[in-house]
Amino acid sequence: MKNRGLLIVFSGPAGTGKGTVCKEFLKHNSDSVLSVSATTRAPRPGETDGKEYFFVSEKEFKKMINEDGFLEYASFCGNYYGTPKYKVEEKLEAGLNVILEIEVQGAMQIKQKVPGAVFVFIAPPSKEILRERIEGRGTETQEIIDKRMKIAENELKQIKNYDYVIVNDEVEKAVKSFEDIKNAERCKVLRNMNFIQEVCK
Ligand code: ADP
Ligand code: 5GP
C-alpha cells in the first residue's frame, strides 16, 4: 500500500526565491506537485491563468469562500490568495507530495487544520538582498516594493513557527536542502507504519 504524500507548506517573503527554488525542485522530483492557488491579483507579464495562479475576480473569490472551497486563504498586500481544496486530498491520497507556496497567515491556518503537514520557511540571506531581488525581478512598482518589504519584516519574525529554515543564497544549495527535508520526512517511522506492520507480521 502506498504511503500518503506529504503536505509541504513553503513560505518566505515575496521575492525570496520560492518560485525559483520550487520550479527547480519539481524538475527533479516527480513524486511532488505544486498546488495552484487562486488570486485576485492581476497577472504579471508572462503569467498564465491556471499555471502560476487561477486569476479570479473578488466576486468569484468570495463565492469560493462561501462554498468552503479553500483549504486556507488570506489577504496579502491588497489582494486575496487561497489554496483550492479541489485535488489536494486526491493527490496526497495517491502518494504525491503537495507543495503549498503560501504566505504566513495561510500557513498558520494549515497548522491548525492539517496534522502531519511539514512547514518550511525560505529566507533571503539579508533584507538588502531581498530588496535587490524584488527590484531585479522588475514586476512591481516602488510603492508595492516598499509595502512588500514591510510585510517581509513581519514574516521573518514567524520563522520560529516553522519546522525548517532554508537560506536561499544559492538556488542549487536551497533546492538540495528542500530535497533533503522531503526525503527525511518521508523516511519518518510514523509515516511508514503500513510497511512496518507488513514486515513485522
Ligand atoms: P518568490 O517566488 O519568492 O516571490 P522569485 O522566485 O520570483 O521569488 O525570485 C525573485 C527574484 O530573485 C527572481 O528574479 C529570481 O530570479 C531571483 N532569485 C531567486 N533565487 C535567487 C538566488 N539564490 N540568487 C540570486 N537571485 C535569485
Ligand atoms: P505573489 O503576488 O508575489 O505571487 O504572492 C504574494 C504572496 O502570496 C507570496 O508570499 C505567496 O507565497 C503568497 N501566496 C500565493 N498563493 C497563496 C495561497 O494560496 N494562500 C496564501 N495564504 N498565500 C499565497
pLDDT band, residue 183 (cuts 50/70/90): very high
Atom 20, ligand 1: residue with shortest CA distance: 17
Q: Each residue of 68-80: pLDDT tens digit? A: 999 999 999 899 9
Residue 54, pLDDT > 70, answer yes
Contact 106, 74 (CB under 8 A): yes
pLDDT computed for residue 114 by the predictor: 95
Residue 144 C-alpha to ligand 1 middle, in angstroms?
Answer: 17
Ligand 2 probe mutation, 20, 21, 39, most atoms within 8 A of CB: 39
Transcribe 125-168 into DSSP letters. S-HHHHHHHHHHHT-S-HHHHHHHHHHHHHHHTTGGGSSEEEE-
Q: Each residue of 57-101: pLDDT tens digit? A: 999 999 999 999 999 999 998 999 999 998 899 999 999 999 999
**What are the extents of the domains in the chain?**
7-35+96-199
Residue 171 C-alpha to ligand 2 middle, in angstroms?
Answer: 20
Count CB-CB contacts under 10 A for residue 97: 20
Query: ∠ CA 170-166-76 to the nearest 5 degrees?
Result: 105
Ligand 1 probe mutation, 10, 11, 20, most atoms within 8 A of CB: 20
Tell me whether strands 97-101 and 32-34 are parallel, antiparallel or unpaired.
Answer: parallel
Residue 1, pLDDT > 80, answer no
Of 71, 50, 73, the residue nearest 62 (C-alpha): 73
Residue 69: nearest ligand to its CA? 2
Which fold would CATH assign to domain 7-35+96-199?
A: Rossmann fold (3.40.50)
Q: Each residue of 9-27: pLDDT tens digit? A: 999 998 899 999 999 999 9
Q: Each residue of 124-176: pLDDT tens digit? A: 999 999 999 889 888 888 998 999 899 999 999 999 999 999 999 999 999 99
3-state secondary structure of 5: coil
For ligand 2, whether the C-beta of 164 sits within 6 Å is: no
Residue 111, pLDDT > 80, answer yes
Q: Each residue of 24-44: pLDDT tens digit? A: 999 999 999 999 999 999 999
